[in-house]
Amino acid sequence: MLGSSLTNKNNLALLSIIIISSCRLSVHCSQQSADSAKTIRRVENSMETHLTYLIPPSVCNLLNSSTIYANNEVSLAEVDIYGFDYDYTLALYSDALNTMIYNTARDFLIEHFKYPEGIRKYDYIPNFAARGLHYDIQKGLLMKIDAFHYIQLGTVYRGLNPVPDEEVLRLYGGTHHVPLQQVSGFYGKGPKVKQFMDIFSIPEMTLLAVANDFFISNDIEYDPEHLYKDVSEAIGMVHIKGYMYKWIMQDLEKYILGRDETYAVLHRLVSHGKKLFLITNSPFSFVDKGMRYMVGKDWRDFFDVVIVQADKPHFFNDCVKPFRRLDGNGDLQWDKINSLDKGQIYKQGNLYDFLRLTGWRGSSVLYFGDHLYSDLADLMLRHGWRTGAIVPELDLETKVVNTEQYAQSLTWLQALTGLLERMQMHRDSQSREVLQDWLKEREELRLRTKNLFNPQFGSIFRTCHNPTYFSRRLCRFSDVYMASISCLLNYDLSYTFYPRRTPLQHEAPLWMDQLCTGCMKTPFLEEMAHIR
């Protein structure tokens, strides 16, 4: 550990020396403008030569997909009650399920809504869409928006083709900004723009893109708003008619992942005296079949309360529906619910009655779910529970971040950004030509790092440099987040998660990322003389 620490300090020191040297050279350039272009090229070559030294040893093994990441300080020693969603929380599904949802919804669109037969020729595209994207309903555009409501250029798609940046600018009235009133709505459903936050929505985004592409390619006039509504209903029919439940129940081994890990997590929590509960929108027969497969026929013994068909997010934010009890066959009972008993199955209900009957409140409760709005937002903001977001995409994203290609590209991107920031005061024609070359290379590096995650939309967590809208909501509505609940197996149940203290823009930087840009902004007052 000490050796690693010293090595990292040496790298930071070397980086500081390089940047300080570049700053001193920039001062020298301002005094001898005739040689400035040559000098800033020399600075660039120096930075590029030392690129390998700017990357700490073993940087490509820094991230582990089994890590739990903290947005807020959480002590598991204070958590006595653990709650879980079912789909994509206790049960993770294979990509084969997305293909089935897409194919069935596409056929509904053709057979029930009478869409052209030609759409059937489009097969599912596994890696086209990504979670957290926004869809402009009126314009028929799928895009990625950052935390400040700005569209990331290069990630706007009409059908299966990217929309040129100039056209995006024209479509949005000369700006890349999408107004708050269009993208807001507490659950991501603005009047004109819909955010897809559900993992189940990936087939829906793909079908929207495919249907748009068919009409555009065949020069057929259509109404994008009607298309959105029809595709949404076609996807809904897959769930309402129970097709998804039937496929999974018929071939559990094909669709359900990580069965042993689910059992191990539940067994460990119960063996340490923790109380468990389940709140899911799925029906009992479906949950029972899946839990028997993952945990065993006595799976209900692990849970103190089991609630199915809860109708989240309404379960968490209104007090209208009372609890109903189901018998062992899943049939509704008529008795009044005065307590929530272990071994029983309950349907619907609401959180206010849940709190009244259980007394489970505040930071002693930690609830896990995959949907930031439906599962977590109300619990954190209205009720003070601890929340854990399940983000399966972390598995792939950490693998990309751990590659040497990503580390080198990102490090040089940061260094190049620092050079641009420091050298931009040079106004002679040759220097400006160099700066333009750097800007072009910076854009190429941004594209390269984006494509490592997803060629169309990049990382679900970042635009070029800002957090995505999804990432900001993840930080707002979850105390901790992880790839799957199996990550809990790596931590003692008295473990405390501490969020990393990352510097604000005005604070002194402590990490290598900020050394490339922020640390040298103001100390060199000679360069700032012309501003006074």
- The Cβ of residue 295 has, within 10 Å, a number of other Cβ atoms equal to 22
Strand ordering across the sheet containing 323-326: 69-70, 480-482, 386-390, 365-369, 81-84, 275-279, 305-308, 345-348, 323-326
Q: Distance between alpha carbon 337 and the CA centroid of its chain, in Å?
A: 38
Provide the 3-class DSSP secondary structure of residue 390: strand
**The token pair that represents 411 in the structure block:** 């490090």
One-letter-per-residue 3-state SS of 410-460: HHHHHHHHHHHHHHCCCCCHHHHHHHHHHHHHHHHHHHHHHHHHCCCCCCC
Helix (H) or strand (E) holding 162: strand 161-162
Residue in 322, 320, 237, 252 with CA at minimum distance from that of residue 288: 252
CB 302 within 8 A of CB 272: no
- Is residue 370 part of an annotated ligand binding site? yes
- The Cβ of residue 452 has, within 10 Å, a number of other Cβ atoms equal to 18
Residue in 389, 385, 380, 393 with CA at minimum distance from that of residue 355: 385
230 is catalytic: no
CB 43 within 8 A of CB 23: no
Supply the DSSP symbol for 212.
H
251 is catalytic: no
Distance separating alpha carbons of residues 216 and 155, to the nearest angstrom: 19
Helix (H) or strand (E) holding 268: helix 259-271
Distance separating alpha carbons of residues 200 and 99, to the nearest angstrom: 11
- Beta strand 134-136 with 141-143 is antiparallel
Q: Which residues lie below 8 Å from residue 288, measured CB to CB, with a gap of 6+?
A: 299, 330
Residue type, 455: P
Rounded alpha-carbon distances, angstroms, from residue 298 to 43, 242, 289, 291: 68, 25, 12, 9
Distance separating alpha carbons of residues 385 and 376, to the nearest angstrom: 9
Place of tokens 């094909």: 254
Residue in 117, 72, 211 with CA at minimum distance from that of residue 496: 72
Of the listed 35, 80, 87, 251, which one is catalytic? 87
Distance separating alpha carbons of residues 105 and 261, to the nearest angstrom: 32
Of the listed 35, 80, 85, 165, which one is catalytic? 85
Write out the catalytic residue numbers: 85, 87
* Residues of the binding site for Mg(2+): 85, 370
* Residues of the binding site for GMP: 87
* Residues of the binding site: 85, 87, 370
